[in-house]
Amino acid sequence: MCVCCMQGMVPYLPELVPHLIQCLCDKKALVRSIACWTLSRYAHWVVSQPPDAHLKPLMTELLKRILDGNKRVQEAACSAFATLEEEACTELVPYLSFILDTLVFAFGKYQHKNLLILYDAIGTLADSVGHHLNQPEYIQKLMPPLIQKWNELKDEDKDLFPLLECLSSVATALQSGFLPYCEPVYQRCVTLVQKTLAQAMMYSQQPDQYEAPDKDFMIVALDLLSGLAEGLGGHVDQLVARSNIMTLLFQCMQDTMPEVRQSSFALLGDLTKACFPHVKPCIAEFMPILGTNLNPEFISVCNNATWAIGEICMQMGVEMQPYVALVLPHLVEIINRPNTPKTLLENTAITIGRLGYVCPQEVAPMLQQFIRPWCTSLRNIRDNEEKDSAFRGICVMIGVNPGGVVQDFIFFCDAVASWVNPKDDLRDMFYKILHGFKDQVGEENWQQFSEQFPPILKDRLSACYGV
Mean pLDDT across 343-350 = 97
286 in any annotated domain: no
Do 341 and 459 share a domain, yes or no? Answer: yes
Full residue range of the structural domain in which residue 267 is found: 134-202+212-278
pTM of the model: 0.90
pLDDT band per the 50, 70, 90 thresholds, residue 11:
confident
Closest C-alpha among 289, 278, 219, 285 to residue 245? 278
Do 400 and 333 share a domain, yes or no? Answer: yes
Instruction: Identify the pLDDT of residue 112.
Output: 86
Report how far residue 409's alpha carbon sits from residue 63's, in angstroms, rounded to the nearest whole number.
Answer: 55
Q: Which of 84, 99, 133 is the last residue of a domain?
A: 133
285 in any annotated domain: no
Do 123 and 8 share a domain, yes or no? Answer: yes
Instruction: Give the contacts of 207 (CB within 8 A, at least 6 positions apart).
Output: none
Write the secondary structure of the chain as one string of H (helix), E (strand) and C (coil).
CCHHHHHHHHHHHHHHHHHHHHHCCCCCHHHHHHHHHHHHHCHHHHHHCCCCCCHHHHHHHHHHHHCCCCHHHHHHHHHHHHHHHHHHHHHHHHHHHHHHHHHHHHHHHCCHHHHHHHHHHHHHHHHHHHHHHCCHHHHHHHHHHHHHHHHHCCCCCCCHHHHHHHHHHHHHHHHHHHHHHHHHHHHHHHHHHHHHHHHHHHHHHCCCCCCCCCCHHHHHHHHHHHHHHHHHHHHHHHHHHCCCHHHHHHHHCCCCCHHHHHHHHHHHHHHHHHHHHHHHHHHHHHHHHHHHCCCCCCHHHHHHHHHHHHHHHHHHHHHHHHHHHHHHHHHHHHHCCCCCCHHHHHHHHHHHHHHHHHCHHHHHHHHHHHHHHHHHHHCCCCCCHHHHHHHHHHHHHHHHCCHHHHCCHHHHHHHHHCCCCCCHHHHHHHHHHHHHHHHHHCHHHHHHHHCCCCHHHHHHHHHHHCC
Do 418 and 404 share a domain, yes or no? Answer: yes
The CATH number of the domain holding residue 31 is 1.25.10.10
Instruction: Identify the pLDDT of residue 151.
Output: 92
288 in any annotated domain: no
pLDDT band per the 50, 70, 90 thresholds, residue 10:
confident
Mean pLDDT across 207-231 = 95
Counting residues of the chain whose pLDDT is more than 70, the rounded percentage is: 99
Do 151 and 129 share a domain, yes or no? Answer: no
Do 334 and 410 share a domain, yes or no? Answer: yes
Report how far residue 75's alpha carbon sits from residue 61's, in angstroms, rounded to the nearest whole number.
Answer: 14
Instruction: Identify the pLDDT of residue 1.
Output: 53
Do 375 and 415 share a domain, yes or no? Answer: yes
Mean pLDDT across 239-259 = 97
How many other C-beta atoms can be found within 10 angstroms of the C-beta atom of residue 424?
Answer: 6
The CATH number of the domain holding residue 358 is 1.25.10
User: In the predicted model, is pLDDT for residue 401 greater than 60?
Assistant: yes
User: In the predicted model, is pLDDT for residue 109 greater than 60?
Assistant: yes
**Total structural domains within the chain:** 3
Do 241 and 147 share a domain, yes or no? Answer: yes
Do 114 and 2 share a domain, yes or no? Answer: yes
C-alpha distance across the termini of the chain, in Å: 47
Do 458 and 346 share a domain, yes or no? Answer: yes
95 in any annotated domain: yes
Do 237 and 368 share a domain, yes or no? Answer: no
How far does CA 438 lie from the centroid of its chain?
Answer: 39
Do 45 and 178 share a domain, yes or no? Answer: no
What are the b/e assignments for 248-283, b being 16+ CB within 10 Å?
bbbbbbebeebbbbbbbbbbbbbbbbbbbebbeebb
pLDDT band per the 50, 70, 90 thresholds, residue 5:
low
- What are 411-458's pLDDT values in tens digits? 999 999 999 999 999 999 999 999 999 999 999 999 999 999 999 999
User: In the predicted model, is pLDDT for residue 3 greater than 80?
Assistant: no
38 in any annotated domain: yes
298 in any annotated domain: no
- What are 192-218's pLDDT values in tens digits? 999 999 999 999 999 999 999 999 999
- What are 128-156's pLDDT values in tens digits? 999 999 999 999 999 999 999 999 999 98
307 in any annotated domain: no
456 in any annotated domain: yes
Q: Which of 133, 154, 183 is the last residue of a domain?
A: 133
Q: Which of 105, 133, 161 is the last residue of a domain?
A: 133
